Amino acid sequence: MCKTRLDDLDLSNPVVVHPIKTFPLIKDLVTDVSWNFEVNKKIKGFTPAKDSDFVYHQEDADRVQEFRKCIECFLCQTVCQVLRNHDGHDKFYGPRFFVRLAGLEMHPLDTANRLQEIDREAGVFLCNINKCCTTVCPEDIHVTDNAIIPLKERVIDQMLDPILKIFRAIVGK
Amino acid sequence: MSHPVTVGRIGWFKTDRQDTWWLEPLLVIVGLGLFAIYSTISAVVLDSHFEYGPYLSPFYEPLILVDWWHFSPAILILWVPLGFRVTCYYYRGAYYKAFFLNPPACAVTGSETKSYTGERRFPFILQNMHRYFLFLALVLNVLLWVGAIKSLWYGGLVGIGVGRSRCRSCRTSPASPGPSGPLELQGGQVRFVWR
Ligand code: SF4
Ligand code: SF4
């Protein structure tokens, strides 16, 4: 992984560098990660209200700032068991895109609702929270704790929780 | 959209990792397994040795003794901390690896199935009830604190018995070792939680 320091390795043995595994190999260490960019296009971008006041405070930005550190290395995508072991590319966007979705959903000025997409097309519930994505992220983004779990809880709040559904039916919201 | 070829689908426990990746799931299997055996014996088998003086086995607190229940009184209570722990995000991540081999460790091949449905279908969709167990556990926590304070009184004096140093309320406290906090409270609409 690109976080590994050479001085942490036993240099009496050869150091072997492999290409990432979840995407097709083109040549040497180069893989075809174009699938990720296709997924990215499906996500509804930043949608502020027409009359948005774009002056806001650092503390409003704090929570989403972490997600902007992503360098799209796709290490999280390659280690994620849903893509890597279960071949879930047709029903799961992968951790990198939960980072993007969380950044949009938690943005104080964004008004779009992506919860249905997060549940269905993005398949957030296929994630089993094993934190492999967090472990490998070179930018130290807490992908599971700060992006995926809050997204799951938002979907549960709005779409799955039967008690909240009954409560909303009663109060009419 | 071009569909990537997954290269890693080559059987069980295949990996290029050279570290002791198997140690963590093994420790979880041994640790959680032993705790499950110990707690079952303590709560279900030894169900007549749970009280001594002001002391009450933490598996039995708060003690519910009712005529219509003919089994261990611990069972009437334990489903709350058990449900809380089983559905806890932290434990889920750990036992999916150790017991379901899904995956056994990061970048190690394990269970592989195209029909994998994760936590969106029965039975694992029930994991999303964690929030309910959290609220029940918070109520139970208050009762456990009351019990812990009561156990400090012995023969009209304040004291602490040897062997009674474990805080009972740690059993369900969201801040107890393991989970990273009550994420279900934070994940919804509360904005500033990780500062
Ligand atoms: S925590 Fe979820 S998204 Fe991250 S690697 Fe594991 S299964 Fe994939
Ligand atoms: S590992 Fe981290 S930096 Fe790399 S794509 Fe994933 S979230 Fe972004």
pLDDT in tens, A112-128: 999 999 999 999 999 99
Instruction: Name the amino acid, one letter, at A139.
Output: E
Instruction: Give the per-residue pLDDT at A72.
Output: 95
**Residue B153: helix, strand or coil by DSSP?**
strand
Chain A partners of B108 at a C-beta cutoff of 8 Å? none
Measure the CA–CA gap between A98 and A60, rounded to whole angstroms: 20
Evaluate whether A145 touches A134 at the Cβ level (below 8 Å): yes
Give B66 or B53, the one with higher predicted confidence: B66
Range(s) of the domain holding residue A111: 6-44+55-171
Nearest-ligand number for the alpha carbon of A131: 1
User: Number of structural domains, chain A?
Assistant: 1
pTM: 0.84
Is the residue at A125 inside a domain?
A: yes
B9 pLDDT exceeds 60? Answer: no
CA of residue B57 relative to chain centroid, distance = 18
Percentage of chain B with pLDDT > 70? 76
Say which residue the tokens 């295949």 belong to. B14
Instruction: Give the per-residue pLDDT at A166.
Output: 93
User: Residue B110's closest CA among B4, B13, B3?
Assistant: B13
Q: Kindly report the protein residue whose alpha carbon is nearest to atom 3 of ligand 2.
A: A70
Average pLDDT over residues B24-52: 88
Nearest chain A Cα distance for residue B118, angstroms? 4
Is the residue at A50 inside a domain?
A: no
B192 pLDDT exceeds 70? Answer: no
Complex ipTM more than 0.90, yes or no: no
| Nearest-Cα residue of chain B relative to residue A129 | B93
Give the length of chain A. 173
Is the residue at A49 inside a domain?
A: no
Average pLDDT taken over every residue of chain A: 92
Q: How far is the CA of A80 from the centre of ligand 1 (A)?
A: 5
User: Residue B85's closest CA among B136, B121, B161, B125?
Assistant: B136
CA of residue B140 relative to chain centroid, distance = 15
pLDDT digits (tens, 9 = 90+) for A3-46: 778 888 888 888 888 888 889 999 999 999 999 999 999 999 99
Measure the CA–CA gap between B90 and B98, rounded to whole angstroms: 13
Provide the CATH number for the domain around residue A16: 1.10.1060.10
B7 pLDDT exceeds 60? Answer: no
| Nearest-Cα residue of chain A relative to residue B16 | A18
Is the residue at A165 inside a domain?
A: yes
Helix count and strand count (H, E) for chain A: 9, 2
